[in-house]
A and B are shown apart, each in its own frame.
Chain A
Amino acid sequence: MLSACVVLFSGCYGTTQVQQPTTRPSVSTVPEPVSPQAESIPTNIPQPASPVAIPPRQTDVFHGPTAGENRQVKQHPAVVALLDRSYLLQQQGDLPGAASSVERGMRIAPQDAALWQRLAQIRMQQGLFQQAIEVAKKSTSLGQGIFQLIRDNWLMIAKAHELLGDAKASQLARLEADRYQR
């Protein structure tokens, strides 16, 4: 686990390696490094005792992860099994089958950003670049705070725009990816 964290950490800070579509990501637990953006985000404002009742932060009611939190993403073994299967099918050239497997995983963990990224990768290989862009964006929306994932998504989006012949959008996406790298 520790080594996995180190791998990801170094991925964020050191290399600019892009995740290959058919390689299995080695980590399922993703720690969140401090980002250049995150530094300027006020996290929980300390709330002193007060004579007036302070309403609770709405996020407490939502229970949702917030941008500034250190995110731990642990994948369910069933999801891992389905991801494995999707890699296998992808290698065998059965891209729709691989996508079906990922979708099955999404029924178990619909907000797992890594699953959406997998789907985007498959869409790329299917040549469905516009869909790849949309799905990668969705992965980013769900994966707030998981910087390696966001970076990979932006790089994928850049590639998809490039293949669609939109150099400008591709450039912008690449810049966005660079923001998640030091």
Chain B
Amino acid sequence: MAKKKTQKKSRRKSIKKKKLTGIRAWPWRKIITIGAGVIFFCLVLFAIWLFFHVRSLNEHVTTQFEGRRWELPARVYARPQDLYVGKQVSLEQFKDELALLGYREQKEVTQPGEYRIAKDSVEVYLRAFPFPDEAQESTHLTVSFNQKAVSRLQHIRKSKALDLIRMEPALIANIYPKNNEDRVLVQRHEVPELLVQALLTVEDREFYEHNGVRFTSILRALLANIRAGRTVQGGSTLTQQLVKNFYLTSERKYKRKFNEALMAWILEWHYSKDEILSVYMNEIFLGQQGNRAIHGFGLASYFYFQRPLHELQADQIALLVALVKGASWYEPRRNPERALERRNLVLDSLESQGQIASELVTDLKLKQLGVTPKAPVGVSAFPGFLQLVREQLKRDYKEEDLRSEGLVIFTTLDPIVQMAAENSSIDVLDQREKDLGLPTGTLETATVVTSVDQGEVLAVIGGRDPRYPGFNRALETRRPIGSLVKPMVFLTALQKRGMTLASIIADTPLVVEQRSGDWQPQNYDGEFRGAVRMIDALVHSYNVPTARLGMEVGVKNVRKTLQLTGAQSEINSYPSILLGSVELPPIEVAQMYQTLAANGYRTPLRSILQVVNPSGEVLTRYPLNLEQVISTELDYLVVAAMHEVTVSGTARRLQQLLPDNLSVAGKTGTTDQLRDSWFAGFSGEHVIISWVGRDDNQPTGLTGSSGAMLVWAEIMNNISTRALQPVQPNSVEWQLTDITSGTLADPRCPGTQWLPFIKGTEPALARNCVDDRERNEQQTLRGFQWLRDLIN
């Protein structure tokens, strides 16, 4: 009530005032002059403000645009596959490799990225790849196979045989910028013309005519929006869209619109249409995977179709353009129907503009989306290996450079070996858990595979789930290595004068006095054999003779051998290290056994070959380095003994598990109460270290040969490898010896074995097995005896 009264009063007052003003004459001129002055003043102020505003925007736009450097992720590549006649790769494995590279099987091979399978051969059009040392051109060829190897390479156009061709390497990982933006930069000329036409048709038909802003369409959009009461239409040109993506932060709407228009206009003033278009095509947001943002058509092509942009078909191009309007709304994997509808709309627009013939459009519209069912793994499919790469990179590169400089990193990973190792590990562990009645997932595992002579890391498995990028048991767990230490003990012992593989060592109770209490090593079976030959101690993994020998040559010397061959972790000098109390991660064991496998030459294990910048210059090389740390003769003796381990020793089951002609050398390792199961060994081409155990360090019920060795053998079986063929040093010779006394023996003796000796160290004594019963036979062997006499 009270309010109403006051309102009425005030109204009355204003009426009065109006009447008064109406009566008095106004100095119109003065008012107009003042008004004009004020307006003019305001305009001047506005102009000044605008001038400075435009100037600052101009600076902002140009500096950013010209110095525009997207933070580009580092790309990590696997080793490229070299193809040559005799290359050990089966047709199936070759197909796996092609699948990894995103090649597609076709009835007719017409362009790079396609292949066709015939009976024993594959017709394939290999893609080009700019290797830093020599660019590889795209090549159309036929690869023929026999059994497990390449038998012929035939260049189709030149119709001639090829000696060697290098396939493109598989992309195995990306190291993203902090903002998680991912892109593959494409130049304007690399973009298919149809994509450009489609983009302009759908998003901005007058792109080549306007000056950055189209006022008519803004007005139209504004009216439509006002009528609808919400934003239903965007009148933005490509330039404006770019500005919005590129420069603007979340400002208030109208100020933002104003700035957007100004900046678009400035951009157009400074730069050519093609420059703007090219930046747009690399900047546009086209998808999301976790926290990784997919930017630009270059990457979107890989992300949705797993192939480069220039290989896309018309319908695929239409889909990418369809996504511009809303990459998550039209996400083809999640919302295939929406995406299909939108794609066909784009195809219709192209038809109406005469870009594609009508008949073709009808066909194209019937096609499925054609996206790969799963997005390629964003960070890495091989996190175990990648961690090794990153550790090595950390020594030479700053984290921010890795994330932003677009570095290209060539690694040693062999995807075929890696995948074989993964599958083998999983299969064997599943089976062993079933056998032992353990709940699934109890057992954990780690494996490292390297090449023998070049020390290249070919595969790393950090755990049971090889895709899980967490705790990496191959690099991070330190477990006692058990009997894997034994070859190093014997290597040390053989350096002592007079020691040979045939030397006799006492196998009787041993007590080593220590301040912390006496150490009394036991054999695995608890028995004592009185005396054994050195080779038997290794072949059957006897603890007591090994410990005795180790004490004799000195724990410190054994420790030195461990370090020389490749152990890097801290190692104490307690006698218990002689039986493997030393705790090492599998990767260090791999280094040690690589040295043994490679004739005593240690080659620091490498996971990276070179790092290249985006323009193709090599920034860092990681060359092959070696150092001889063990004499070739000694190494040969120990390798021969380790081969015997796999023939008649603790790993003799390998005779059944591996093909007949695949000779290998290795050593089992088991720790107290069966907590750790190890197997370390090598063929002529691959060093493999496998560990099986539990994360809670509880007993597994597995010995080295009933756990890790099965994983190891399964991997050896599933990769192409070569038999162990150590070159016999000039200074080594083989002698027939008596297996109990260790003396030389003649061929008629029962219980003999051939053993290698460094010349001059062979036993002086020889056992003579000639008795009356054999005398007659001996007559016939006089010639042989004569030869032996000559030799001795």
Tell me the chain A residues, 95-151 only, with Cβ under 8 Å from chain B: 96-97, 99-101, 103-104, 106-108, 110-111, 119, 131, 134-135, 137-138, 141-145
**Contact pattern, B 651-669, Cβ under 8 Å of A = 1, otherwise 0:** 0000000000101000000
CB distance from A105 to the nearest CB of B (A): 9
Q: Does A14 contact B (CB under 8 A)?
A: no
A81 CA to B153 CA, complexed, in Å? 15
Q: Does A15 contact B (CB under 8 A)?
A: no
> Which residues of chain B are within 8 angstroms of A77 by Cβ–Cβ distance?
84-85, 163-164
Q: Does A21 contact B (CB under 8 A)?
A: no
> Which residues of chain A are within 8 angstroms of B343 by Cβ–Cβ distance?
none
B791 to A42, Cβ gap below 8 A?
Answer: yes
Given A50-B748, A103-B454, A141 contacting B618 (CB threshold 8 A):
no
Q: Which of A2-10, A22-30, A61-69, A159-167 contacts B (4 or more CB under 8 A)?
A: A61-69
Q: Please, which residue of chain A has its CB at the minimum distance from the CB of B749?
A: A52
The one of A37, A56, A66, A104 in contact with B728, judged by C-beta atoms closer than 8 angstroms, is A66
Q: Does A20 contact B (CB under 8 A)?
A: no
Q: Does B750 contact A (CB under 8 A)?
A: yes
> Which residues of chain B are within 8 angstroms of A106 by Cβ–Cβ distance?
453-454, 624
The one of B454, B663, B733, B756 in contact with A61, judged by C-beta atoms closer than 8 angstroms, is B663
Q: Please, which residue of chain B has its CB at the minimum distance from the CB of A65?
A: B727
Tell me the chain B residues, 97-136 only, with Cβ under 8 Å from chain A: 133-134
> Which residues of chain B are within 8 angstroms of A65 by Cβ–Cβ distance?
725, 727-728
A107 to B726, Cβ gap below 8 A?
Answer: no
A76 to B84, Cβ gap below 8 A?
Answer: yes
> Which residues of chain A are within 8 angstroms of B137 by Cβ–Cβ distance?
none
Given A51-B777, A96-B618, A106-B454, A45 contacting B727 (CB threshold 8 A):
no
A48 to B780, Cβ gap below 8 A?
Answer: yes
A96 to B621, Cβ gap below 8 A?
Answer: yes
A54 CA to B784 CA, complexed, in Å? 15
Q: Does A177 contact B (CB under 8 A)?
A: no
Q: Please, which residue of chain B has its CB at the minimum distance from the CB of A60?
A: B754
CB distance from A131 to the nearest CB of B (A): 6
Interface size on A, residues (CB 8 A): 54
Tell me the chain A residues, 63-103 only, with Cβ under 8 Å from chain B: 63-67, 76-78, 80-82, 85, 89, 96-97, 99-101, 103
A7 CA to B728 CA, complexed, in Å? 26
B164 to A81, Cβ gap below 8 A?
Answer: yes
Given A107-B82, A134-B626, A138-B599, A41 contacting B733 (CB threshold 8 A):
yes
A45 CA to B783 CA, complexed, in Å? 11
Q: Does A58 contact B (CB under 8 A)?
A: yes
B663 to A63, Cβ gap below 8 A?
Answer: yes
Given A42-B791, A61-B643, A62-B643, A55 contacting B754 (CB threshold 8 A):
yes
The one of B640, B644, B727, B788 in contact with A142, judged by C-beta atoms closer than 8 angstroms, is B727
A45 CA to B787 CA, complexed, in Å? 8
The one of A46, A103, A144 in contact with B787, judged by C-beta atoms closer than 8 angstroms, is A46
B626 to A97, Cβ gap below 8 A?
Answer: no
A78 to B727, Cβ gap below 8 A?
Answer: no
CB distance from A43 to the nearest CB of B (A): 10
> Which residues of chain A are within 8 angstroms of B628 by Cβ–Cβ distance?
134, 137-138
Given A45-B788, A58-B643, A62-B724, A78 contacting B747 (CB threshold 8 A):
no
A70 CA to B781 CA, complexed, in Å? 27
CB distance from A101 to the nearest CB of B (A): 7
> Which residues of chain B are within 8 angstroms of A45 by Cβ–Cβ distance?
736, 784, 787-788, 791
A58 to B756, Cβ gap below 8 A?
Answer: yes
A41 CA to B86 CA, complexed, in Å? 34
> Which residues of chain A are within 8 angstroms of B774 by Cβ–Cβ distance?
51
A63 CA to B726 CA, complexed, in Å? 8
B727 to A64, Cβ gap below 8 A?
Answer: yes
The contact sample of 28 A-B pairs, CB cut-off 8 A, is: A41-B733, A45-B736, A46-B784, A48-B747, A52-B748, A54-B747, A58-B640, A59-B734, A63-B723, A64-B725, A67-B732, A77-B164, A78-B82, A78-B85, A78-B164, A96-B618, A99-B623, A103-B624, A104-B82, A110-B454, A110-B685, A131-B626, A134-B628, A137-B601, A138-B599, A138-B628, A141-B632, A142-B727
Closest 10 CB pairs of A and B: A78-B84, A64-B725, A78-B164, A110-B453, A77-B163, A66-B728, A67-B730, A141-B632, A141-B599, A48-B781
A107-B451, A111-B727, A144-B729 known, 19 other contacts, Cβ within 8 Å: A45-B791, A47-B747, A51-B777, A52-B748, A55-B752, A57-B734, A57-B754, A62-B643, A77-B84, A77-B85, A77-B164, A85-B134, A101-B133, A107-B82, A110-B453, A111-B453, A138-B628, A142-B599, A144-B727
